[in-house]
Every structure is written in structure tokens, then in C-alpha cells.
Amino acid sequence: MPTPNLSLDPFFPNATRIDNMTLGADEIITWLADVIDSGITSLYNQPEEFWDSISKRMVDAQLSGISGRLKLLRNAIHGEEEEHIINLICEIYLLAKSISKLDHFDLESQLSFLKAGGYNITKKQLATADRIQDEWLTLGVIKGEEDKIKYRRTWIQGVKSKFMGLVLDYAWGKQDFMQNWQAGRTFVGDVRVYPGAYKLRVQVESHNHTAQLFNAFASYPDLEAFLKAYTVALATDPVLPRFPVCLKDISVQMRGQDAYLVDNQLNSMPCKCSENAKWSLLAASAGRKIQVFAEWDGLIFQPVSVVSQGRFIKL
């Protein structure tokens, strides 16, 4: 169990919850060892009960984060290359091992591992978290649905603080999200920052929408600077699921059917997006330099929005 201090004690789960998560982490480590002993190919013909059983045990251990990663692994078995499957297994093992050895880490890292495992800090707990007052640019809004639960990732950047924040919302069934965030717009307000090793997630505490559009945001000068920043972030929080990327002076090139972002140093990065988004990206570039905001998960670079000739464009 973590040794609490005055600043982080309110954010930790109780000892019973941590013990339950630790036991679940030990179980999934043993399960993964059996998978490796049997060979990865043994996963290809497993029945649904094989996956449902271990997923249910992870949910019972309050490790919904690991249960979700097992679902990704299960889906990958039927359509992804073996390298991707191995990466997913390594990610699950890293997270489980970190939770099982929780007291070996500093308190902020412990919180990061617990949150990645499935522990959620409540809004009430956040009342004592760090607060940032600023004018905020809404760089991108990504929506989706999994198991009848709608999710929304809203990325914001402080004008003065330059802090990059992620507002993560969920809605069940026919319910809608409580706030309406619009990419390309700004608001003035306070956000509370979730504690952890690498701070990204925030909760908007108070806000006033403005009618103002924006035509620029703070960006890395090139791909090398972004990759250095990501390396530092990953060293700080090895289970970081995604990383926000703002790049300036970018051109877009096609190589076959794939779009590549090219910086001033002529370094390039392949990007993944829908056909419509790909052609919007090309049209926005069209021989000129643009600013790009994207999500990066360590493998896939997914553009979300661009600024071209002083105009904000959602992809």
C-alpha cells in the first residue's frame, strides 16, 4: 500500500481496493506467463469463454483498465500483425507488474499505475487538486462508443500557461454529454489537474465560452522536438496511453495511398486518418506550411485538426 502524504493522500483508493487490484495484477501476470509458455499462436483458436473468463476476473479485481487492454488483445488476434500483438502483451505485463510492485515507486507514479489499471479519481477528490486559470483553446474533440458507453476526448491548451489538458467525458445509453465543447473555439475558466506522474487529464471547474476563434497554437518546431518531448513523457509515465502533438511549419506529401507529414528538416511521419480527413489535410496544405494538432499513441499518428492560412479546420 502507498505511504500517503498530506498532498496526495486524498487521491488514493482505500487499502482494500489496492489489495484487490494487486491480487488481480498477480493473477494476470501468471496468465500472461502461461500464454507465453504455450506460444502466442495458442491464442488464435481460443474460444470466447477463454477471454470472457480472464476479463471477468480482472473486472472483479477492479482492474477495468487491464480488462480493456485484454479486449484490444483479443481483437488484435484476428487482424493485426504479430508484432502488434506482442506489444499489447508487453503493455499489459508492464502495467500489471507496476501495480503488483506499487510500493517500489514514488507516489505520483503509483497514482498513474492505479488510474491506468482502472481506478478513477472523483470530482469531489479533485477539489483539492492543482488549479490552472487561463484562456483555453479547444484544439480537438474526438468522440466514439465502446460497449454502449459513449466517450469524448477534448484537448485544450492554455494561452498563457501553454499547458496541454485532456477533458475525458463519458455518457451511458441515450444520455448525452453535459458540456458542449467545440473544436476551434475558446473559453475562459479554471481547470483542476488530475495528479499523476505525467499530468494531462483535467476537469473543467468553471468556464465561460467566448465567440472568439483562434488561428494559432503553441507547437513543437519539428518532429525531432516532439519525439524528444514524448520520450521524456514516457520515461515519466510508462503507461501513458496517448500524447498530444502540436507541430508547426508542416507540409503534407502522399506516398502511394498514405499521407506523410514533413517538417522543415525534411523528417517525415506517416499519419492515419479517414479518406475524407486525408484529403482535407492535403487540401489544407496544398503547397503551403500548416500547423497540425494530432494524437500519438506510440505507434499511430492521428491528425485531429489543422490551422492553414489563419483558418482552423477540423479533420
- Does residue 3 register a pLDDT over 50? no
Q: Could you tell me the three cell numbers for 168?
A: 475525458
Which whole number is the average pLDDT over 31-35? 95
DSSP notation for 153-222:
EEEEEETTT--EEEEEEEEETT---SS---TTEEEEEEEEEPPSSS--EEEEEEEEEEEEE------BSS
The per-residue pLDDT for 299 is 85
Q: Could you tell me the three cell numbers for 175?
A: 444520455
The per-residue pLDDT for 5 is 41
CA-wise closest residue to 194 among 128, 102, 113: 128
Four-residue CA torsion sign, 228, 80, 260, 300: negative
> pLDDT-based confidence at 264, cuts 50/70/90?
very high
Which whole number is the average pLDDT over 3-21? 82
Q: Which residue do the cell numbers 494530432 mark?
A: 294
In whole angstroms, give the CA distance from residue 67 to residue 70.
5
> pLDDT-based confidence at 57, cuts 50/70/90?
very high
Which whole number is the average pLDDT over 195-210? 94
User: Mean pLDDT score of the chain, rounded to an integer?
Assistant: 92
Classified as helix, coil or strand, 128 is helix
- Does residue 4 register a pLDDT over 90? no
- Does residue 31 register a pLDDT over 70? yes
State which amino acid sits at residue 4: P
Which whole number is the average pLDDT over 206-231? 93
- Does residue 53 register a pLDDT over 80? yes
The per-residue pLDDT for 9 is 87
Which whole number is the average pLDDT over 244-257? 93
Which whole number is the average pLDDT over 36-58? 93
Q: Where are the beta strands (DSSP E) in the chain?
A: 131-146, 149-158, 164-172, 185-193, 201-213, 243-255, 258-262, 268-271, 290-296, 301-308, 311-314
Which whole number is the average pLDDT over 177-201? 94
pTM: 0.91
Segment of 8-12, 54-58, 306-310 carrying the highest mean pLDDT: 54-58
Four-residue CA torsion sign, 108, 109, 112, 113: negative
In whole angstroms, give the CA distance from residue 191 to residue 193.
6
